[in-house]
Amino acid sequence: MGILWFGGNIYTMQSEGDAAEAVYTENDIIQAVGTYQKLYHDYYQRIDEEINLLGKTMLPGLIDSHMHIIRHGLKLLRLDLSKMQSANEVKEALKNRTANLAPGEWLIGEGWNENQWENKTIIHKSELDEISPDNPMMLTRICRHAVLANSRAIKLAGINEQTQNPQGGIIVRDDQGETTGYFLDTAQDIIKEAMPQVSQQYLEQVIKIAVDDLLSKGLVGGHTEDLYYFGGFDKTYGAFKNAIGPANKFKAHLLVHHEVMADMIRENLGYGDGTAYVELGAIKIFADGALGGRTAWLTTDYADDPGNKGVAIHEKGELEEIVKVARSHQLPVAVHVIGDRAIEEVAAILKQHPLTTSARDRIIHGQILNERALDMLKELPVIVDIQPSFVTSDFPWAITRLGKNKLSLAYAWKTMLENGIHCAGGSDAPIEEVSPLRGIQAAVLRKSAYDGKIYMPYEHLSIYEAVQLYTQGSAYAINQETTRGMIAEHYKADFIILSEDIFNTDPDRIEQIPVFMTVVDGEVVYQNKAE
């Protein structure tokens, strides 16, 4: 009937340092937490398995508060450009890949990042045409806010000299007005729409591959945004429900892109609906772009691009209209905002249109604040979904974009927590690696992956605070803080077991701690055989 877990450091996360000797679970629920002796005495007739943790460390299962599961799976399947150190290395990889393509088949690459290249010049479409004039090519930048395309793809997308920039996007052109192959923000969609659609079966396979990887990283669940991009609501939601369930346990909370909100409503579905493993969440809206392509919407000019303050994805009034539609169906929203101007804009709209239910609105990223934006956030019952590993990937180049003066409230996680703002931790995978341990280490150390320097050390979190982001933080964001995110009576039996004690280790090592086991609803769904 039940399992008695014992023999390790069991951190309950009910308060800092709080630990127990043993946990007794039945099916998906924690029945009791206490000493081995007491639990054995109370439950010995119902215990049918004892699991000895062998001195390892048990924590509540970690939950990634912002990711894109399908894109993560595609990254595992597609050509990964994210580790490459030069444009030549990227081109070499593309050349090798084209050799195996059928005529007309698309070459999709993921995650190039010119900030990692010695020469930071972005590849021109003519260089891609040289590699493959006949196979259409689309290469997504690490930030997902820009793509590179070759001439074949541009032609299939129907883009020519007359094509205007779409609202919220830029088709980059040279002095002669010729496209360079670089497409920013909503301009990416023109290329993507020219791609053949994937089947639901394929999506199911991609989700399963992604989930297996997530479980191995210690994640028992994730809040994911996918429903708009791969052939629409019904197909994608259907794929999630088929791929994840009692036989493939993982807790997926799906944000609903506003473009498919009407499809969800048509199906008579709303916030929190779904299965025990796949449920629907807040309405996802983009307010601005991203820092890498200088499209995050700022109150001031980019330090390295005078006259440019970034991009508002929606025309004035449009974003408010979307929020109003969501409110008319009692739906919370989750808004992508990176720049301080965008945060002010969104905070004002949320204040104007408060939720009338107990659900929670979310600000995704909330990376660059100013005093006024911080004050506005403080006043709102809003969650901020932060991605601690951005600090390791964005510095030092973020300083070039923002200028030193704008850094005082950038990536300001400690300040947000101290101001009583609820934060949840995530990766935005596949933008960042999916590992929650990597995120925890980044929140604690704030060390750049490029130069090894520490950026804004006054914003660093304690290990406990950082683990909280991925446990109670992510649970709170979706109103599940009374059933998930802690090891306590009547909570869900979701755990991870780490091979080392995360609270008593050199913070520089956190990312390398092996995940020994992942447990969802009392079932061991991942076990590291090497440990």
DSSP conformational letter for 159:
-
Q: Which is nearer to Zn ion, 279 or 428 (CB)?
A: 428
Q: How far is the CB of 54 from Zn ion (least distance, A)?
A: 37
Q: How far is the CB of 125 from Zn ion (least distance, A)?
A: 26
User: What CA–CA distance (Å, rounded) separates 196 from 231?
Assistant: 10
Residue count, binding to Zn ion (CB under 5 A)? 1
Site string for Zn ion, 20-59 (x = CB under 5 A): ----------------------------------------
Q: How far is the CB of 435 from Zn ion (least distance, A)?
A: 16
79 burial level (CB within 10 Å; 0-12, 13-18, 19+): middle
Q: How far is the CB of 528 from Zn ion (least distance, A)?
A: 28
Instruction: Tell me: does residue 185 bind Zn ion (CB under 5 A).
Output: no
Q: Which is nearer to Zn ion, 64 or 204 (CB)?
A: 64
- Beta pairing class for 382-386 and 422-425: parallel
Q: Which is nearer to Zn ion, 190 or 337 (CB)?
A: 337
Q: How far is the CB of 188 from Zn ion (least distance, A)?
A: 14
Q: Which is nearer to Zn ion, 117 or 230 (CB)?
A: 230
Q: How far is the CB of 470 from Zn ion (least distance, A)?
A: 16
Q: Which is nearer to Zn ion, 213 or 428 (CB)?
A: 428
Q: What are the φ and ψ backbone dihedral angles of 102, each rounded to 5 degrees?
A: -75, 160
Helix (H, G, I), strand (E, B) or coil at 60: strand
Number of other residues whose CB lies within 10 A of the CB of residue 442: 31
The torsion defined by the Cα of 387, 392, 393 and 394, in degrees rounded to 10, comes to: 90
User: What CA–CA distance (Å, rounded) separates 201 from 179?
Assistant: 36
Q: How far is the CB of 245 from Zn ion (least distance, A)?
A: 25
**323 contacts 349 by C-beta, under 8 angstroms:** yes
- Beta pairing class for 333-337 and 219-225: unpaired
Length of the chain (residues): 531
Location of structure tokens 């099916």: 27
Q: How far is the CB of 425 from Zn ion (least distance, A)?
A: 14
Residue closest to Zn ion, measured at CB: 428
H or E element that contains 177: none
Site string for Zn ion, 227-266 (x = CB under 5 A): ----------------------------------------
Q: How far is the CB of 79 from Zn ion (least distance, A)?
A: 21
Q: Which is nearer to Zn ion, 112 or 286 (CB)?
A: 286
Q: Which is nearer to Zn ion, 428 or 511 (CB)?
A: 428
Nearest to 146 by CA among 162, 129, 123, 126: 123
Residue 396: asked if its preceding bond is cis (omega within 30°), the reply is: yes
Q: Which is nearer to Zn ion, 181 or 425 (CB)?
A: 425
89-113 residues labelled b (16+ CB within 10 A) or e (exposed): ebbebbeebeeeeeeeeebbbbbbb
Long-range contacts of 450-454, Cβ-Cβ distance < 8 Å, separation of 24 or more: 450/115, 450/116, 450/395, 450/396, 450/397, 451/395, 451/396, 453/395, 453/396
For Zn ion, the binding residues in 409-448 under the rule CB under 5 A are 428
422: which 2 tokens?
């609820």
Residues 6+ apart with CB under 8 A from 283: 255, 256, 257, 258, 261, 322, 326, 331, 332, 333, 334
Nearest to 525 by CA among 192, 251, 187, 157: 251
Q: How far is the CB of 284 from Zn ion (least distance, A)?
A: 8
Q: How far is the CB of 336 from Zn ion (least distance, A)?
A: 6
Number of other residues whose CB lies within 10 A of the CB of residue 76: 16
Q: How far is the CB of 185 from Zn ion (least distance, A)?
A: 13
Q: How far is the CB of 428 from Zn ion (least distance, A)?
A: 5
Q: Which is nearer to Zn ion, 343 or 513 (CB)?
A: 343
468: which 2 tokens?
């909280």
Residue 306: asked if its preceding bond is cis (omega within 30°), the reply is: no
For Zn ion, the binding residues in 473-492 under the rule CB under 5 A are none
Q: Which is nearer to Zn ion, 64 or 213 (CB)?
A: 64
Helix axes 371-379, 340-352, angle to 10 degrees: 30
Positions that interact with Zn ion (CB under 5 A): 428
